[in-house]
Homo-oligomer: A and B are copies of this chain.
Amino acid sequence: MAKAAAAAAARGPERRRATVIDVAARAEVSSATVSRVLNGNYPVARATRERVEDAVRELGYVANAHARALAGTSSRTVGIIVQDVVDPFFAHIARGVERAASEAGRLCMVCCTHGDPRRELAFVDLLHEQRADAVVLVGGAHSDRAYAREVARRARDLHAGGARLVLCGRPSVGRDVPTLSVEYDNEGGAFALTDHLLTQGHDRILYLGGPPDLSTTRDRIAGHRRALELRGVPCAPELVHTGAFSPVFGHRRLTELLASGLTFSAVFAANDMVAIGALQALEEAGLRVPQDVSLVGYDDVPTAQVMRPRLTTVHVPLEEMGRHAVRLAVPGTDAEADAWQQPAGGGLTLGTHIVVRDSVAARRPGPEGARGTARPGTTRPQTQTQTQTDTPSPVRHRPM
């Protein structure tokens, strides 16, 4: 009788799972043979294999992934760190990551930070402990020097251990830090959106929402400003109100702003969630969208098509970003081979484009006044979604 089995027997009849040793004993082979049958990566005589398979079945044997990971083979997992699984922005990226991981034979571990940078760091560590093949850090980063350094350190640790840190939708943390990155043209999308609004005659555009210290917010505002400047429209500071990325924020803040008497003819919501709240606030104030006020969002989550009026927004290839993130980092993919060559260069940027729907109208000349057009949402013929700008994906896109 093998040592392990003997020890188990000595421990008494407590709950115990079958191990390779048990299977081996039952099939009257060695543990190595069992391993070979299980992994199917080595020739095993048919009869032997069948005996082992029977034993496995009879014993209800289930391999131990930890022992397996410990004994050499990779853990076959990838980790993803997001703020919130429910937020469609993150959910879609997570789906991409999960799918690509699963296609690469990996399990996906999801962690939610709820916006706390410390939790984010802690999760990177946790995932590192799990020996994830890749850790994907999703969404805007807080622009904090010390924080970036912490991330950089972890990226190096991960890299030293054969794993990869992938930055998805956030800026690099340093010139020669071994991270991979999947970006989207955040600034360009914002530029195109504001330009669209400008073209429609809006010159007082309220920028609403998004945590002020987040890279995402910074980039979107940058694009917004660039468009403004290009048309020589002054960028009034009282028209920029950052805060959060939620419907609640959009609703609350816009309601306050409306009450304060601030004037504007269009609202650039920092993302679609904020736009949802903003729309509600506008409705409650008796303002029609787009007749009285135009409204745009960002991200193009599915709800944008369901809202009435349907929301004009910027399409971001969320799921695709997630897929690329793991493709870049996980062994067994074409992209991966290259990625390892370019220490800090493994970055790709996907294009964004605006999607014109029904929430923007040309600015009316007078202060108030009926525009004889149809009300949205009823028998009006469906306008097909129009693509304003659309660049082939992995190409940097700069509408101008």
Contact = CB atoms under 8 A, between A and B. Distances in A.
A62 B128 contact: yes
A70 to B, nearest CB: 5
A60 B112 contact: no
A391 interface: no
A256 interface: no
Interface in A74-131: 75, 77, 84-86, 88, 91-92, 94-95, 98-99, 102, 107-112, 125-131
A112 B107 contact: no
Given A112-B99, A276-B306, A129 B62 contact: yes
A86 B84 contact: no
A302 B273 CA distance: 11
Contacts of A286: 379
A226 B276 CA distance: 37
A62 B157 contact: yes
A66 B60 contact: no
Nearest to A159: B15
A231 interface: no
Interface string A199-233: 00000000000000000000000000000000000
Given A62-B157, A70-B70, A110-B98, A377 B308 contact: yes
Number of chain copies forming the complex? 2
A112 B131 contact: no
A382 B276 CA distance: 15
A67 B284 CA distance: 58
A215 to B, nearest CB: 24
A259 to B, nearest CB: 16
A17 B107 contact: no
A126 B306 CA distance: 37
A347 interface: no
Contacts of A92: 86
A378 interface: yes
A72 B47 CA distance: 35
Interface in A308-345: 308
Contacts of A75: 66
A395 interface: no
Contacts of A36: none
B111 A107 contact: yes
Given A85-B91, A86-B95, A306-B303, A60 B157 contact: yes
A388 interface: no
Contact of A130 (B107, B127, B247, B377): B107
Interface of A: 15, 17, 60, 62-70, 75, 77, 84-86, 88, 91-92, 94-95, 98-99, 102, 107-112, 125-131, 153, 156-157, 160-162, 247, 276, 283-284, 286, 288, 302-303, 306-308, 375-379, 382
8 contacts: A60-B157, A60-B160, A66-B70, A66-B130, A91-B91, A107-B109, A283-B377, A302-B303
